[in-house]
Structure 1
Amino acid sequence: MADALATLASMINVNKLEDMKPIQISIHEAPAHCCNIGDEEEKDDHPWYHDILRYVRSREYPDHVTENDKRTLRRLAIDYVLDGEILYKKGKDQVFLRCMDAVEAKKILEEVHEGICGTHANSFRMARQIMRFGYYWSTM
């Protein structure tokens, strides 16, 4: 919640002479990014990291983006490394994590959760275990 408020605060220009209006916040059952990812991503030709991959590979921006979007993409691309056709994200400990699309992520989740060495752990523990195996995707 604090991160969300800090993000909102950084996006608003405040005029201290005027009265501040309260911010309306609603709480949802699941995070908003989970609602945007589903079967549509499997049908899409571009994985979630397509724009980052395109920028890292050839320094090209997507069509019709604002200067703010370009700045954000440059900032995000700092943490990514391209090796051949495979995109890696630098982890906090500088270990490279392979970026996965939705189909590959689903297979990895199934294998870690239900596979031969699988454990029925909670989501945080599973995410740490998958990152230890060297994989990454945006909604992990």
Structure 2
Amino acid sequence: MDIDLKEQPGHCSHVEAILDRLPCYFDIKKYMETGIYTENSTFNQKKSIRRMTLNFFLSGEILYRKTLYLGLLKCIDVVETAKLLEQIHAGICGTNMNGLTLARIIL
């Protein structure tokens, strides 16, 4: 295995958004809103969705993920994620937490 060393660090300031895809939390949100599973869901997928809904909270149209130490985290789509990451990399957003905690929240 070869490892290439670079002279200067690389920086990424652009995130490409795929607008055709549904957000990763789409199935959970739909189930919480209507109580109906998505089409072609298997028994195991339905069971997983029911379990995952215990960790989420729906307030109107906004879905939040419950966490033990950080409270409620807003679930965002690809476009909002791209904007947020660009702001974080640019240093626009100030933070009151260390880098590891911030990384956990973003991911």
TM-score, normalisation: structure 2:
0.70
Matched positions, count: 90
Using structure 1 for the length normalisation, give the TM-score.
0.55
Letter in 2 for 1:58: T
- The answer on 1:60 being equivalent to 2:36 is yes
| Counterpart contact for 1:54–1:60, Cα < 8 Å | yes
Tell me: higher relative CO, structure 1 or 2? Use CA pairs within 8 A at least 6 residues apart. Answer: 2
Partner of 1:85: 61
What is the deviation of 1:68? Answer: 0.9
Which letter maps to 1:67?
Answer: F
What is the CA–CA distance in structure 2 between the aligned matches of 1:116 and 1:46, rounded to whole Å?
28
Secondary structure of the residue aligned to 2:18 is helix
In the aligned structure 2, how far is the partner of 1:61 from the partner of 1:93? Answer: 30
Distance (whole Å) between structure 1 residues aligned to residue 26 and residue 38 of structure 2: 10
Q: CA deviation at 1:118?
A: 5.9
Gaps of 5+ in 1: 1-37
Map 1:1-140 → 2, pairs under 5 A = 39=16, 42-44=18-20, 46-93=22-69, 95-117=71-93, 124=100, 126-128=102-104, 131=105, 140=107
Structure 1 runs of 4+ with >2 Å offset? 115-119, 123-126
Deviations 1:63-93 (A, max 9, x none): 1111111100101111111111000000122
Gaps of 5+ in 2: 1-14
1:74/1:117 CA distance change after superposition, 3 Å: closer
Among the aligned pairs, what percent are the same residue?
39
Q: Deviations over 1:84-126 (max 9, x none)?
A: 100000012261100011111111111122133569xxx7454
Task: Report the AA paired with residue 50 of structure 2.
Answer: R
How far apart are the structure 2 equivalents of 1:117 and 1:97?
16
